[in-house]
């Protein structure tokens, strides 16, 4: 037995379906409410999508027809919205094949951009605990994604999920036992939705970076012991599997964001930046463990000095300080000077660094 939920279109001609009707019934079932029956209801109406094949090609004409009707009678959108919400709340009362038809229809309503249908009031009922626990929501959304992406790209899908307040809840589609990044990747890769897997991995990566940056910002502002900060970073790297190059970038950004800049006073700004480098040099050197990472740190300094006017003249002093604090090796500085590839302000900074590089080369020759 099925829930009786009907969306009727009160027009004489069902365009595209080749039939004259008093009402076009798109959905119908065999229960007035869960737990009750009405034997006299009789057979299901012949124009219900639940009686058609679960394919995009078969269900699309229903959606296109509704689209035409809504343009002429926009007040019907509320009826459609209410009916779809009730269906999604009652997914467990349908058979697998019928749930697939509902998923296809729902995806097509958004793919065809039915005017005024708000995604949040359609999607939110799916987060009911019992539906998620039984795996019904995951199955429904998998079918939904597949159909929607036939006519739309991944950016369109993400925009739709954002409007439906679901973008940050993708893992909540999964039963708790399977709710993990690995479970997400395994399921949607198997279903052929690799682009969605890649998007989710990128999003989770960005979330982990943001969390680590927030924690570091707090610890540095509180002037925590440097050993404690180092352990925090190491734990983040271990837990989130963050690449070393991203750690170097974040460390520099956090340290410079914590500096108390003094407007246009160049000398005070220089002193503050150099003091920050000296104070946290051990933190930087702990994670700049090879020439590649040291070079990345120089590029970070270069870009910041280029983009921030108050730091434009500080580049050589910062590089010199990082060298003095054993964060940057001589070979790395010379490599950047001779073969650096980032063009931002490079000509200016190379010229500014010439005296220091000359000193390094002379010292190298003497040795």
DSSP string, 116-149: T--HHHHHGGGG-HHHHHTTHHHHHHHHHHHHHH
255, 131: one domain: no
More confident residue, 189 or 205: 189
What is the reported pLDDT for 64? 86
Q: Of 122, 148, 169, at which residue does a domain stop?
A: 169
256, 336: one domain: yes
25, 153: one domain: yes
118, 265: one domain: no
Per DSSP (E only), the strands in the chain are 8-9, 13-14, 19-20, 24-25
CATH code for the domain of 303: 1.25.40.180
Residue at 184 is within a domain: no
Residue at 160 is within a domain: yes
Residue at 183 is within a domain: no
Closest among 170, 176, 177 to 197, alpha carbons compared: 170
What is the reported pLDDT for 73? 81
More confident residue, 29 or 56: 56
- Per-residue pLDDT reduced to its tens digit, 139-191: 999 999 999 999 999 999 999 999 988 888 789 999 988 888 899 999 999 99
Per the CB < 8 A criterion, the answer to whether 106 and 26 are in contact is no
Residue at 230 is within a domain: yes
Residue at 306 is within a domain: yes
pTM of the model: 0.70
Domain that holds residue 217: 207-366
Residue at 235 is within a domain: yes
Given a cut of 60, is residue 8 above it in pLDDT?
no
127, 230: one domain: no
What is the reported pLDDT for 348? 93
Residue at 248 is within a domain: yes
36, 140: one domain: yes
Count of domains observed in the chain: 2
Closest among 255, 287, 293 to 274, alpha carbons compared: 255
> Distance (Å, rounded) from C-alpha 318 to C-alpha 337?
14
Q: Of 142, 169, 196, at which residue does a domain stop?
A: 169
Residues 6+ apart with CB under 8 A from 262: 268, 269, 272
158, 235: one domain: no
276, 323: one domain: yes
Per the CB < 8 A criterion, the answer to whether 25 and 7 are in contact is yes
- Per-residue pLDDT reduced to its tens digit, 323-355: 999 999 999 999 999 999 999 999 999 999 999
109, 237: one domain: no
155, 260: one domain: no
More confident residue, 83 or 188: 188
215, 311: one domain: yes
139, 265: one domain: no
Residue at 194 is within a domain: no
What is the reported pLDDT for 37? 39
């Amino acid at each position: 037995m099925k829930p009786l939920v009907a969306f009727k279109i009160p027009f004489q001609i069902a365009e595209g379906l080749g039939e004259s009707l008093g009402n076009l019934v798109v959905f119908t079932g065999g229960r007035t409410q869960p737990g009750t029956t009405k034997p006299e209801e009789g057979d299901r109406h012949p124009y219900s999508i639940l009686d058609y094949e679960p394919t995009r090609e078969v269900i699309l004409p229903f959606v296109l027809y509704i689209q035409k009707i809504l343009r002429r009678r926009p007040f019907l959108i509320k009826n459609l919205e209410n009916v779809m919400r009730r269906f999604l709340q009652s997914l467990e009362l349908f058979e697998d094949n019928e749930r697939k038809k509902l998923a296809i229809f729902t995806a097509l309503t958004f793919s065809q951009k039915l005017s005024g249908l708000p995604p949040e009031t359609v999607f939110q009922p799916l987060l009911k605990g019992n539906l998620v626990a039984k795996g019904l929501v995951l199955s429904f959304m998998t079918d939904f994604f597949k159909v929607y992406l036939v006519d739309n790209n991944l950016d369109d899908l993400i925009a739709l999920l954002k409007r439906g307040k679901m973008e940050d809840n993708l893992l909540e589609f999964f039963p708790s036992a399977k709710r993990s990044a690995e479970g997400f990747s395994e399921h949607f890769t198997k279903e052929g939705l690799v682009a969605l897997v890649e998007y989710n991995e990128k999003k989770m990566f960005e979330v982990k970076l943001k969390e680590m940056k927030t924690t570091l910002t707090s610890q540095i502002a509180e002037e925590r012991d440097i050993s404690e900060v180092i352990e925090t970073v190491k734990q983040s790297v271990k837990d989130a599997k963050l690449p070393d190059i991203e750690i170097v970038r974040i460390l520099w950004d956090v340290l410079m964001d914590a500096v108390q800049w003094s407007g246009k006073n160049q000398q005070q700004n220089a002193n503050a930046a150099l003091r920050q480098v000296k104070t946290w040099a051990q933190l930087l050197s702990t994670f700049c463990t090879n020439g590649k990472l040291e070079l990345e740190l120089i590029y970070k300094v270069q870009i910041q000095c280029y983009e921030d006017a108050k730091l434009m003249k500080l580049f050589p002093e910062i590089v010199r300080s990082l060298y003095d604090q054993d964060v940057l090796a001589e070979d790395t500085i010379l490599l950047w000077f001779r073969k650096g590839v980032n063009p931002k302000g490079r000509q200016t900074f190379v010229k500014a660094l010439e005296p220091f590089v000359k000193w390094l080369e002379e010292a190298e020759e003497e040795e």
